[in-house]
Amino acid sequence: MNRVAKIAIAAAFSSLAFAGVSRAESLGMNTAQGIEQTLRTFQGNDFNVQYFYNWRNLDDEDTGPRSAPQRSQSDVRAIQASIDANKSLAHKLNNDGVNIRNVVNAEQAADGSITFYVR
């Protein structure tokens, strides 16, 4: 019986690990279209804001941490429009002192949280 219980417990822990992975939804969640859809429907409070540093510019290397790759102007405008479309998210960001026009990128982590990059 003890062996059966150990196997059952191991199976339960394994299924919990896979449940956490499914939260990430897909590898495309941070593509331009994926993040736009996420921002339009995001309802949580689990986000943070970081300053954007151009990871290809050596001058920025000493001024801050490495950042996400830069998006095209059309992708930036689409991200900003997605935030505007989500009034709840726009309000939360505004309350945190974030001007949506300064958001230049956003990425979703596997745990569902979002990092906004601003200039």
3-12, 45-54, 78-87, 106-115: segment of lowest average pLDDT: 3-12
Cα distance between residue 103 and residue 89, in whole Å: 13
Which among 24, 19, 16, 15 has a CA at the least distance from the CA of 113? 24
> E strand or H helix at 6, and its extent?
helix 2-22
Tell if the pTM clears 0.85, that is, is over it: no
Which among 110, 107, 112 has a CA at the least distance from the CA of 49? 107
Choice between 67 and 38, residue whose per-residue pLDDT is larger: 38
Structure tokens at 80: 């900003």
Cα distance between residue 107 and residue 38, in whole Å: 10
